Structure 1
């Protein structure tokens, strides 16, 4: 297994991984063009986990706004879970963000994703916020 930066050519395999992963919700922003724009805006930050045969085994999309990091689609495919790969992806992402001077990050976890919620509740240094609410828009 190895961790490397995500490339635009990984899109199709990542979408297949995300579709078969409970708790991941795909949006228009996950289509090829916005995906590539995200990678270009945040170079070398989003990470892919490959198995020994070079197949996609996990992912973590990573971006920032100059002050805060934002993490999305942290996934390890079911055959590879329980081996510490999600933590390895997370640690590498935080290391890359820290190298840019970004020390605080956020992750949004869907309420209907019990495995993801359990993962984040167990992560040292991460705490659930009860002092904010998130509002989203799909455009003007």
Structure 2
């Protein structure tokens, strides 16, 4: 396969990796990909590999070695490049790195119903073993709660739903008129039209294939980012969704080299203000205004990174 390189995962790869895992069906409610990645890069980061072709991430594999045997996880190949030898090349690179550490044996887990994948590994020299896989969870992620959710990049159709969610929710809870929905639509349209993928992001919170929250981080200047359109569905509040979304903004802003994040909100949005304050934002300006059919007090908050 031409123009292909296999290298160690970089923090800037996160969104592309999650998008790839989604396309390969690797993300399930029991696993939060962001937390999985964060844990891996704290331990043997050099064994988390990505395949890059023409500037796009098209494959991944995670390996690990604890001194007795190695493990393989998260082998993924872009659906359009499957059956072209890329999975084999990723496995060969992972095995080479495990051997360099003195690893004598490698294991992996495959669902018994996944006959295609079992055959793939059989051709690489793997064999079934007469063992039972047992598991015990030490840490309970938010995804393991009754109301599970994932944080992911937007897909086609998501941003229109984000506009609808804002318009419907703010009309119901605050009786704001259609001017607010129009403002949200303008912000979203500008994000789509002028999107700078290296410096701007949107995150979607999803539960049971339903959007329950979202947030945007956009460029205001070279050193200042702007947090926009944080929203969480009422039924999802109390699960930490809003805090997780804001945390993603802060993490990405630091990676992108911003020195400050600013946001504009209104004093009646108590839950959002609480999240901003907990994240370290400071209220720096207040100004009365009449918008969306109501007299409001607009607020500017800032966080130095």
Q: TM-score, normalised by structure 1?
A: 0.85
Structure 1 residue 92: deviation in Å? 0.7
Relative to structure 1, the CA distance from residue 37 to residue 101 in structure 2 (aligned partners, 3 Å threshold; closer, same or farther) is same
In structure 1, what is the Cα distance between the partners aligned to 2:11 and 2:114? 27
Give the greater-gyration-radius structure (CA): 2
Structure 1 residue 138: deviation in Å? 2.4
- Per the alignment, residue 127 of structure 1 pairs with 127
In structure 1, what is the Cα distance between the partners aligned to 2:14 and 2:102? 28
Conserved in 2, the CA contact under 8 Å of 1:60 and 1:90? yes
- Per the alignment, residue 136 of structure 2 pairs with 137
Number of residue pairs aligned between Structure 1 and Structure 2? 136
Conserved in 1, the CA contact under 8 Å of 2:7 and 2:49? yes
Matches within 5 A, 1:5-24: 5-22=8-25, 24=26
Q: What RMSD, in angstroms, separates the aligned Cα atoms of the two structures?
A: 2.0
Conserved in 2, the CA contact under 8 Å of 1:72 and 1:107? yes
Structure 1 residue 118: deviation in Å? 2.1
3-state DSSP of counterpart to 1:44: helix
In structure 2, what is the Cα distance between the partners aligned to 1:15 and 1:83? 22
Q: Find runs of 4+ consecutive structure 1 residues off by over 4 angstroms.
A: 27-30
Relative to structure 1, the CA distance from residue 19 to residue 111 in structure 2 (aligned partners, 3 Å threshold; closer, same or farther) is farther
In structure 2, what is the Cα distance between the partners aligned to 1:122 and 1:99? 22
Conserved in 1, the CA contact under 8 Å of 2:77 and 2:87? yes
Relative to structure 1, the CA distance from residue 105 to residue 27 in structure 2 (aligned partners, 3 Å threshold; closer, same or farther) is farther
3-state DSSP of counterpart to 2:47: coil
Structure 1 residue 119: deviation in Å? 0.8
Structure 1 gaps of 5+ residues are none
In structure 1, what is the Cα distance between the partners aligned to 2:41 and 2:75? 15
Structure 1 residue 16: deviation in Å? 1.4
Conserved in 1, the CA contact under 8 Å of 2:63 and 2:73? yes
3-state DSSP of counterpart to 2:46: coil
Matches within 5 A, 1:27-46: 30-46=32-48
Relative to structure 1, the CA distance from residue 106 to residue 7 in structure 2 (aligned partners, 3 Å threshold; closer, same or farther) is same
3-state DSSP of counterpart to 2:112: coil
Q: TM-score, normalised by structure 2?
A: 0.41
- Per the alignment, residue 65 of structure 2 pairs with 64
Structure 2 gaps of 5+ residues are 140-305
In structure 1, what is the Cα distance between the partners aligned to 2:96 and 2:29? 27
In structure 1, what is the Cα distance between the partners aligned to 2:29 and 2:40? 14
Matches within 5 A, 1:97-116: 97-116=98-117
In structure 2, what is the Cα distance between the partners aligned to 1:135 and 1:14? 28
Structure 1 residue 57: deviation in Å? 0.4
Conserved in 2, the CA contact under 8 Å of 1:8 and 1:35? no
